[in-house]
């Protein structure tokens, strides 16, 4: 059995003798071409990189639009849809509390039990069928 320190020294010496990896010949021209490109126009950059004037203008525009929506009358059809969705959400919440929550713990215990059983079966298959050496 070789000493770990000796093994480390041998590996270090051998690795230092290997030639250094070389970049592909096409890498430098591609990098230089990418570096020489003109920057994207301000409107194609992320909002945080926009000029400050345009950032302020966009915030004012969005705030004005949102504020203007507060004064727009809501059609009665949308109110009806909102009430229907609210009723559907209440129904889903009741069904969840009555039917799903009581069995959730049983499903969790079953899932954990099946996971443990699968792990035990894999371990047994790995040891006996695939010929893994015994740890004794």
Copy the structure tokens of residue 83: 């009430």
Give 54-105 pLDDT, tens digit per residue.
999 999 999 999 888 888 787 888 888 989 999 999 999 999 888 888 898 8
Q: How far apart are CA 117 and CA 123, in angstroms?
A: 10
Residue 60's pLDDT is 95
Per-residue pLDDT tens over the stretch 8-23: 999 999 999 999 888 8
The C-alpha atoms of residue 82 and residue 87 are separated, in whole angstroms, by 9
Q: Report the alpha-carbon distance of residue 59 to residue 48 in Å, rounded.
A: 12
Is the pLDDT reported for residue 133 higher than 60?
no
Residue scoring higher pLDDT (118 or 79): 118
12 close to 18: Cβ distance less than 8 angstroms? no
Region for residue 131 given its phi and psi (left: phi exceeds 0; alpha: psi -120 to 50; beta: otherwise): left
Q: What is the pTM of this model?
A: 0.33
The pLDDT of residue 1 is above 90: no
The mean pLDDT of 43-56, rounded to a whole number, is: 91
CB burial readout 34-50, b (16+ within 10 A) else e: eeeeeeeeeeeeeeeee
The pLDDT tens digits of the residues spanning 21-46 come to 888 888 888 888 888 877 778 888 89
pLDDT bucket at 134, cuts 50 / 70 / 90: low
Cα 95 to Cα 104, 109, 113, 114, distances in angstroms:
13, 22, 27, 27
């Amino acid at each position: 059995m070789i000493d770990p320190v000796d093994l480390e020294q041998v590996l270090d010496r051998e690795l230092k003798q290997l030639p250094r990896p070389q970049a592909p010949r096409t890498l430098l021209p591609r990098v230089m071409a990418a570096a020489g490109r003109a920057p994207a126009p301000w409107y194609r950059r992320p909002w945080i990189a926009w000029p400050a004037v345009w950032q302020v203008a966009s915030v004012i525009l969005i705030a004005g639009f949102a504020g203007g929506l507060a004064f727009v009358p809501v059609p009665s059809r949308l109110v009806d849809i909102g009430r229907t969705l609210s009723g559907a959400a209440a129904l889903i919440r009741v069904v969840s509390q009555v039917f799903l929550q009581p069995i959730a713990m049983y499903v969790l215990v079953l899932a954990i039990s099946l996971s443990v059983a699968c792990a035990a079966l894999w371990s047994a298959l790995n040891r006996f069928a695939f010929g893994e050496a015994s740890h004794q």
